[in-house]
Each structure stands twice: as structure tokens, then as C-alpha cells.
Amino acid sequence: MQLAQLITVTGEGAFQCNACQWRCRLQPGETGRCLVRVGSTKGIVALNHSLISAALVGPVEELRLWHFFPDSMVLAVGSWGYAFPADQQRGAYARLPKTPADRRELEASRVASFALKQLCRGVVWTYSEPAVAQEYALDVLRNSRAASRFTAICTSGYLTPETLESFGPYLDGVCLDLRGFGDTAYARLAGVPEWRKILEVMGDVKQRWHCHVEVLTRMHRGVNDDPKQVRELVSWIRDTLGPQTPWHVLAGDAGAETAAAVARSRRLGHENNLQFVYGPEPDQPTLCPNCQATLITRENGVTRLAGLQDNSCTSCGFAVDIFSSIFRRRAPMET
């Protein structure tokens, strides 16, 4: 039985879980909003600890990390549980398998050794929300870094500062699934009333922990594609994470109108000085924002650094922020 690490005693026999931004207060027997944590008399039990939902070896680019150790193979792993109610309705990994026989256990140390055996340069937590598996995700990150693998998480951003503080020393990159930039968008696409804390936590990911960040937004027509909202979203990326932060704009639903919303949002990204905006089509290269020379090609699943040397464009010398060494990070800033 794994007890949750980030808890507060609240009195009257309840404990508060501080792993994600819901901060559930649980009495013994009560289940958290994530459906994978339950209150007990001793604390809060993480039911998903050391339970894996999926593990796959593949190119890091498949996880929408395109400026992060390009052309590397990674081990993508995840557990069970989401922080957002909307994901619990749609996601494949919301509920633990009912029968213990269907539950696959994989200790964090074995994740790292499997990555080594498969010649993976990195380990990326994806498939489920890392915050709701804080103890397991932390062990995976820590063991992977101890094995000199680079690490990243794909997240909704609904981590608490405490969870980020635990991950930070072992984390190199984050792919943030940013659902939009307004209350209505987050209410509809995530099912949460309050979302702005995500922006603060992600600001810390960049500024305090110096992690590489890429942002992914799926456009849903009439929900998160309002140009004013998109401009605000782009401004936040540019001003908080930096103008070289890759922004991946995908279609959240089918149809010509959504495709038009994607195209319009990409245009707004460029117009508002984001230097790397990507869309849904396959084989997109990375072009130099200064001279338009091709820096990175991606063709049929193969990525090649075509016009980059020491993180500079070989044609014009423009400096490009490609994260490619686990030794590049500076020490976290004092707060």
C-alpha cells in the first residue's frame, strides 16, 4: 500500500491531498476526484502506484516534443488517472482495471532499466496525468535521471507547486496540453472552474526549473477559437515561456470550420511573434525564423538536423533554442 506523500492533516480524521490542484479533502473510504486515490485512517492511498497503463518505445517527436532531443528514441510510459473530469469521460486510462489480474505492475527502477536496454535516450511520462500518480511519476523520473536518461512529462498542467517542486530536480521537458484561454473553454474542455493556476505552475517550470516546454492546443470551434482568446494565449506563451516555445495547434474535432480555426490560430501565432508554430499535417520541417532556411526535417518518421550547428542556423547564424543536453540546465533560482 503506497501512501500519498503530499498530504496535509486537516483534523476530524480527514487528509488533504496536495498532488493536483483539486486539493481533495478525504475522509477514510472517500475517493478523490481523480478516482485513483482513496482516504484511509493512515493517510491517502495511491491506488495507481507502480501500475502501468501503457509503455511504448518510439521517436520523441510522436509526443509533440519537437525541439527536445530531436531524433531520439524514448520510452513512453504512463499509469492510470486524470485530473480533469472531461478526460475521465473520454480518456482510455481513467479507471484502474477492475480485476487485479489485469493490472500490470512495473517498478520505477525497471522502467529505467528497460529504457536502457531498449537504447532509449529518454523516458517520457504520458497517457495519464502525472500529478495524480505523483509518487510513482517521481520515482520514474528520479530513476531515469539516475540512469542518465533525459526525462519529460505530458501534462494538463493541473499540478500543484508542491508536485512540481518534487519533479523539478529530475525533469528536463514538459509538453503542456493547454485547453484554451478562458473560463468557458476550461469548463467545457476540462470540467474545471479555475484554471489560471496552470499558468503560474508552468511559468515556474520554465523560469525556476529551466525545463524545455512545448505547448499543444486542440482547437474546438466555438469553444476556444475566439481570436481575442487565441491572441491572449499566444501572448502568454511568448511572454512567459519565450517566443521560441513551439506551439502545436491541432484540430479538436472534425470539419472544415475547425480546420479554418486551426489555420487562423496558427496565423495569429505567427503574427504575434511566436517563432515556431506547427499544425496537424505530417512531415513539417522547422524553418529558421530569421532566414527561412530548413533547420530540421521530419519525413516519414525520420528527423534530421539539416541546417543546425551548435544550436545556430548554418545559413545565417540565428540562435535557436533546441534542448539537447541534460547538462544544459542551470541550477534552480532561489525563491
Does position 78 bind ligand SF4 by CB under 6 A?
no
**Among residues 34, 77, 111, 140, which is the contact residue for ligand SF4, using CB under 6 A?**
34
Size of the site for ligand SF4 (CB under 6 A): 12
For the bound state, the minimum distance from the C-beta of residue 49 to ligand SF4, rounded and expressed in Å, comes to 12
The answer for residues whose C-beta is within 8 angstroms of residue 250's C-beta and 6 or more apart is 216, 217, 218, 219, 262, 279, 280
Q: Which residue is nearest to ligand SF4 (CB)?
A: 32
Which residues, in sequence order, are bridge partners of residue 9?
15
Q: State the angle between helix axes of 227-236 and 256-271 in degrees (0 to 180), rounded to the nearest 10.
A: 40
Give the binding range for ligand SF4 (CB under 6 A) out of 32-40, 182-190, 191-199, 286-294.
Answer: 32-40
DSSP per-residue letters across 50-85: TEESEEEEEEGGGGT--SBSTT-EEEEEE-S--SSH
Please list, residue by residue across 280-306, b when 16 or more beta carbons sit within 10 angstroms of its beta carbon and e when fewer do: eeeebbbbbbeeebbbbebeeeebebe
Q: Give the nearest distance from C-beta 6 to ligand SF4 in angstroms.
A: 8
Side-chain-side CA neighbours of residue 51 (13 Å):
23
20 interacts with ligand SF4 by CB under 6 A: yes
**What's the min distance (Å) between Cβ of 164 and ligand SF4?**
14
The amino acid occupying position 149 is R
Nearest to 43, CA basis, from 57, 56, 54, 28: 28
Is the distance from CB of 21 to CB of 159 less than 8 angstroms? yes
Q: Which stretch binds ligand SF4 (CB under 6 A): 31-39, 145-153, 208-216, 255-263?
A: 31-39
CB-wise, 48 or 258, nearer to ligand SF4? 48
Q: Which stretch binds ligand SF4 (CB under 6 A): 19-27, 230-238, 240-248, 306-314?
A: 19-27
Interface residue with ligand SF4, options 2, 5, 23, 72 (CB under 6 A): 23
198 sits near ligand SF4 (criterion: CB under 6 A): no
Please list every residue from 151 through 190 that binds ligand SF4, using CB under 6 A.
none
- The dihedral over CA atoms of 167, 127, 284, 317, expressed in degrees to the nearest 10, equals 10
Q: Does 74 bind ligand SF4 (CB under 6 A)?
A: no
- Where b means 16+ CB within 10 Å and e means fewer, 39-57 reads bbeebbbbbbbbbbbebee
If binding is defined by CB under 6 A, does position 19 make contact with ligand SF4?
yes
Q: Considering the complex, what minimum distance in angstroms separates the CB of residue 61 from ligand SF4? A: 30
Q: Which of 24, 94, 211, 277 binds ligand SF4 (CB under 6 A)?
A: 24
Give 66 or 125: the residue with its C-beta nearer to ligand SF4: 125
Radius of gyration of the chain (CA): 20
Q: Which is nearer to ligand SF4, 193 or 282 (CB)?
A: 193
**List of residues contacting ligand SF4 (CB under 6 A):** 17, 19-20, 22-24, 32-34, 37, 83, 132
